Amino acid sequence: MDVKNYIIRQISVFSENKPGRLASIAKAFLEEKINILAFSIAEADGFGVVRALVNQPDKAFTKLTALGYNVAFTDVIAVKMKDQPGGLFEIADLLGDAGINMEYAYAYSGKEAAVLIIRVDHVDEAVSRILSKGGTLLEAKVFI
Amino acid sequence: MVIWDPQIEEMPKADIQKLQYRLLKTLVYRLYSFSPFYHERMKQANVHPDDITSLADVKKLPFMYKADLRDNYPDRLFTASRDDLVRYHVSSGTTGKPTVVGYTAHDLDNWTTSLARGLVSCGLGRSDVIQVSYGYGLFTGGLGLHYGAERIGATVLPTSVGNTERQIELMQDLHATAICCTPSYLLHMGEVAEKMGISIKNDTDLTTGILGAEPWTDVMRSRIQEWLGIRAYDIYGTSELSGPMFVECTEQKGFHVWSDLALVEVLDKDTGETLAPGERGELVITMLQKEALPMIRFRIGDVSVLDEEPCPCGRTHPRIRRIQGRVDDMLIIRGINVFPSQVEHTLMSIPEVGQHFQIVVDRRGALDDMLVRVEISKNAFSDKINDLMQIRSKVEHKLRNALNVGVNVELVEPGSLPRFEGKSKKVIDRRNL
């Protein structure tokens, strides 16, 4: 098993906290026909970070950079959850057992399953531990 | 009406001019002989002390600039020996390097005398308790007014800055009748007092405010006078002149500039031509008696009007009307001089942010509030909010250290700030002064 298969490149965009910024980013995705698979906004006083998993991350990066945005790739992992009561508990418990510390997390509930996307300190180690505890990770190729 | 030194303050204009000419002539000879800096500058301007044969000849002399003090840091412009120096004051400079000023005993005496005349001219005297709420220390405001107030026999309450609630308690308990501070700080005090259930107008003995070190207006004066039940007087000076020097008389129509100490010219700021009294222009000041750090034709950077009309108070010395602006882009934030170039200089040393910036000055309550917008640089962008907050704190910390004034920082998107469109876009001043 190669842990690299499970490391997903998330697009992170610095954005000022003002009306119209999200629309501007979303429009860029539309113009490039990029599909957004998961998405969150973290906000602080006056600014925010838009995080997204998209189907064509390189294209998204190029487009947003050309528009002047400050964009970075961040490695995250996506843990599959059961889309039913207790689904999050099962995974959170597993992560706790595995001693994995999350920087941040967000989730989406898709057609086939619910997914928890997390950023961790040591991504390689986290992948191995989650798999060894019996967790299921989505493969990166799903997002390209 | 009491006058501190009637012989000088009511001297006929013709005699004043004779005195000024004599002092100027002595000053120029002294500097030509003892100041390598000014000797060189006079040579370059092709002027010799012998060319000064009337007071009007002052305009043949070369200028001095704020930058000259910075370029000659710390004391290369001093013309007194260290044995003769009795004090230093230091103010923050334009590019991180401070400006140092020095005083002989005679310099301090003239400074104190100037303030003694001014404080008496606005009605203060022995029976007053004067609360000095300017900073004591390297800043000239606190110590300058302290000695000026002692000179006229008033009782000084040296509260310095900060701890506003305690200041108000002491004002009440020790029956302060006058306060020296920035106008915005006095407004702040008024608000804090009201929160404490104290009305400065009704519950204290305060009658007089000596307010300066930042630009203010007659509208603010009316508001302060009405709300706090006091008479508010403008005070003017900079560390290069000695410190706060000139105070308005009871007429409240500008401050008398003591002609035995200072010679004022008003120049057209574009052509450099001397303007007639009553015309608005750039103030150029020659300090006629300073020993340790002489200032000749100092381009102080302030814009105002010289008023030679006789003053009903009887003093014959001309008045400068309230300062009406700056020739450069200097900002005054809570009494501290801030140049946008200082901000730029500081930001250049922080790789996490670009060098482009925008300053937004506002008045929150009574106090000035300065916000600096900076662009987060590509390499420093982290998608962790904590990292970004740390960058912001670092920039705030560095700016506070460089400017001596607290600053809020806002991180903005790269490329979003205006570039090279002149200072009007770099600085947005919303204070409505």
pLDDT above 50 for B230: yes
Question: What is the domain range of residue A28?
Answer: 6-74
Nearest to B193 by CA among B180, B206, B203, B184: B203
φ, ψ (nearest 5 deg) of residue B34: -115, -10
Residue ranges covered by each domain of chain B: 71-328, 336-429
Based on the fold, state whether residues A16 and A65 are members of the same structural domain. yes
Based on the fold, state whether residues A93 and A106 are members of the same structural domain. yes
Q: Answer whether B412 sits within 8 Å of A104, measured CB to CB.
A: no
| Cα-based distances in Å from B113 to B88, B156, B190, B242, B292 | 18, 16, 31, 12, 17
Q: Which residues of B239-264 are buried (b: 16+ CB within 10 A; e: fewer)?
A: bbbbbbbbbbbeebbbbbbbbbbbbb
Q: What percent of chain B clears pLDDT 90, i.e. is strictly above it?
A: 71
Based on the fold, state whether residues A62 and A80 are members of the same structural domain. no
Domain boundary among A56, A74, A92: A74
The amino acid that residue A12 corresponds to is: S
pLDDT of residue B81: 94
Based on the fold, state whether residues A58 and A88 are members of the same structural domain. no
Cβ proximity of B260 and B20 under 8 Å: yes
Strand ranges, E, within A58-101: 71-81
Mean pLDDT, rounded, for A14-28: 91
Mean pLDDT, rounded, for A118-134: 90
**Per-residue model confidence as pLDDT tens digits over B317-351:** 999 998 887 877 788 888 788 888 788 888 888 98
Shortest alpha-carbon distance between residue B335 and chain A (Å): 27
pLDDT of residue A1: 65
Domain boundary among A40, A74, A108: A74
pLDDT category at B427 given cuts 50, 70, 90 is confident
Q: Answer whether B412 sits within 8 Å of A16, measured CB to CB.
A: yes
Cα separation, A56 vs A64, whole angstroms: 12
Based on the fold, state whether residues A11 and A43 are members of the same structural domain. yes
Residue A66 lies in a domain: yes
Pairing of the two strands B129-132 and B178-181: parallel
Interface test with B, best of A18, A65, A70 (most B CBs within 10 A): A70
The C-alpha torsion from B268 through B274 and B277 to B281, rounded to 10°, is 20
Q: Which overall architecture, per CATH, does domain B71-328 show?
A: 3-Layer(aba) Sandwich (3.40)
Mean pLDDT, rounded, for B71-76: 93
3-class SS at B70? helix
Shortest alpha-carbon distance between residue B410 and chain A (Å): 7
Shortest alpha-carbon distance between residue A126 and chain B (Å): 18
Q: Answer whether B410 sits within 8 Å of A72, measured CB to CB.
A: no
Mean pLDDT, rounded, for A89-108: 91
pLDDT of residue B433: 58
Strand partners, A117: A78, A106
Mean pLDDT, rounded, for B219-247: 94
| Cα-based distances in Å from A49 to A23, A54, B136, B391 | 14, 15, 45, 15
What residues of B are in contact with residue A71 (Cβ under 8 Å)?
A: 381
pLDDT of residue B423: 47
Q: Which residues of B352-368 are buried (b: 16+ CB within 10 A; e: fewer)?
A: bbbebbbbebeeeebbb
Based on the fold, state whether residues A11 and A66 are members of the same structural domain. yes
Mean pLDDT, rounded, for B218-234: 93
Q: Which fold has domain B336-429?
A: GMP Synthetase; Chain A, domain 3 (3.30.300)
Based on the fold, state whether residues A64 and A84 are members of the same structural domain. no
Q: Answer whether A49 sits within 8 Å of B388, measured CB to CB.
A: yes
What residues of A are in contact with residue B385 (Cβ under 8 Å)?
A: 42-44, 49
pLDDT above 50 for A123: yes
Ranges A8-22, B62-76, B186-200, B209-223: which has the least confidence:
B209-223
Say how many residues make up chain B.
Answer: 433
pLDDT above 70 for A78: yes
Of the ranges B100-104, B223-227, B342-346, the best mean pLDDT one:
B100-104
Cα separation, B343 vs B398, whole angstroms: 10
What residues of A are in contact with residue B383 (Cβ under 8 Å)?
A: 10, 12, 42, 49, 51, 72, 74, 119
Q: Answer whether A42 sits within 8 Å of B385, measured CB to CB.
A: yes
Instruction: Give me B73's structure tokens.
Output: 């840091």
A contact residues 27-86, partner B, Cβ 8 Å cutoff: 42-44, 46-47, 49, 51, 68-72, 74
Q: Answer whether B384 sits within 8 Å of A16, measured CB to CB.
A: no
Nearest 5 degrees, angle CA B65-CA B67-CA B68? 70
Cα separation, B235 vs B338, whole angstroms: 19
Cβ proximity of A53 and A105 under 8 Å: no
Of residues B383, B410, B415, nearest to A72 (C-beta): B383
Pairing of the two strands B99-104 and B129-132: unpaired
Based on the fold, state whether residues A83 and A104 are members of the same structural domain. yes
The C-alpha torsion from A64 through A66 and A72 to A74, rounded to 10°, is 50
Mean pLDDT, rounded, for B195-208: 97
Shortest alpha-carbon distance between residue B372 and chain A (Å): 12
Nearest 5 degrees, angle CA B215-CA B217-CA B221? 115
pLDDT of residue B419: 65
Q: Answer whether A14 sits within 8 Å of B413, measured CB to CB.
A: yes
Mean pLDDT, rounded, for A59-81: 93
Report CA Rg, chain B.
23
DSSP A104-123: EEEEEE-SS-EEEEEEESSH
Shortest alpha-carbon distance between residue B379 and chain A (Å): 9
Interface test with A, best of B353, B387, B413, B416 (most A CBs within 10 A): B413
Based on the fold, state whether residues A70 and A80 are members of the same structural domain. no
The distance in angstroms from the start CA to the end CA of chain B is 33
Instruction: Give me B127's structure tokens.
Output: 């029976």
Cβ proximity of A8 and A143 under 8 Å: yes
Burial of B410 by CB count in 10 Å (0-12 exposed, 13-18 middle, 19+ buried)? middle
Q: Answer whether B376 sits within 8 Å of A14, measured CB to CB.
A: yes
Comparison of pLDDT for B15 and B214, the residue scoring more: B15
pLDDT category at B11 given cuts 50, 70, 90 is very high
pLDDT of residue B420: 56
Tokens 């429009």: give the residue.
A27
pLDDT category at B95 given cuts 50, 70, 90 is low
Based on the fold, state whether residues A70 and A59 are members of the same structural domain. yes
- A103 in B contact zone (CB under 8 Å): yes
Residues of B with CB under 8 A from a CB of A: 376-378, 381-385, 388-389, 410-416
pLDDT above 70 for B425: no
Nearest 5 degrees, angle CA B59-CA B60-CA B63? 75
Q: Answer whether A10 sits within 8 Å of B383, measured CB to CB.
A: yes
Q: Answer whether A16 sits within 8 Å of B415, measured CB to CB.
A: no
Nearest to A49 by CA among B266, B19, B391, B290: B391
Q: Answer whether A72 sits within 8 Å of B381, measured CB to CB.
A: yes
Report CA Rg, chain A.
16
pLDDT category at B284 given cuts 50, 70, 90 is very high
Ranges B45-54, B95-104, B199-208: which has the least confidence:
B95-104
Q: Answer whether A49 sits within 8 Å of B410, measured CB to CB.
A: no
Cα separation, B103 vs B394, whole angstroms: 37
Pairing of the two strands B331-333 and B336-338: antiparallel
The answer to whether the bond into B98 is cis (omega within 30° of 0) is: no
pTM, rounded to two decimals: 0.72
Pairing of the two strands B231-238 and B243-247: antiparallel
Based on the fold, state whether residues A65 and A80 are members of the same structural domain. no
Of residues B378, B411, B414, nearest to A46 (C-beta): B411
Nearest to A115 by CA among A107, A125, A103: A107
pLDDT above 80 for B96: no
Query: Across all residues in chain B, what is the average pLDDT?
Result: 92
Residue A1 lies in a domain: no
Structural domain count, chain A: 2
Cα separation, B79 vs B119, whole angstroms: 30
pLDDT above 80 for B93: no
Comparison of pLDDT for B275 and A121, the residue scoring more: B275
Q: Answer whether B385 sits within 8 Å of A70, measured CB to CB.
A: no
Ranges B56-65, B118-127, B378-387: which has the least confidence:
B378-387
Ranges B74-78, B200-204, B328-332, B368-372: which has the least confidence:
B328-332
Comparison of pLDDT for B220 and B407, the residue scoring more: B407
Mean pLDDT, rounded, for B143-170: 97
What residues of B are in contact with residue A46 (Cβ under 8 Å)?
A: 410-411
**Per-residue model confidence as pLDDT tens digits over B13-22:** 999 999 999 9
φ, ψ (nearest 5 deg) of residue B413: -70, 145
Q: Answer whether B384 sits within 8 Å of A10, measured CB to CB.
A: no
Pairing of the two strands B336-338 and A114-120: unpaired
pLDDT of residue B346: 86
Residue A15 lies in a domain: yes
pLDDT above 60 for B303: yes
Cα separation, B236 vs B261, whole angstroms: 14
CATH number at residue A122: 3.30.2130.10
Of the ranges A87-96, B27-36, B327-336, the best mean pLDDT one:
B27-36
The amino acid that residue A26 corresponds to is: A
Domain boundary among A55, A74, A93: A74
Residue A21 lies in a domain: yes
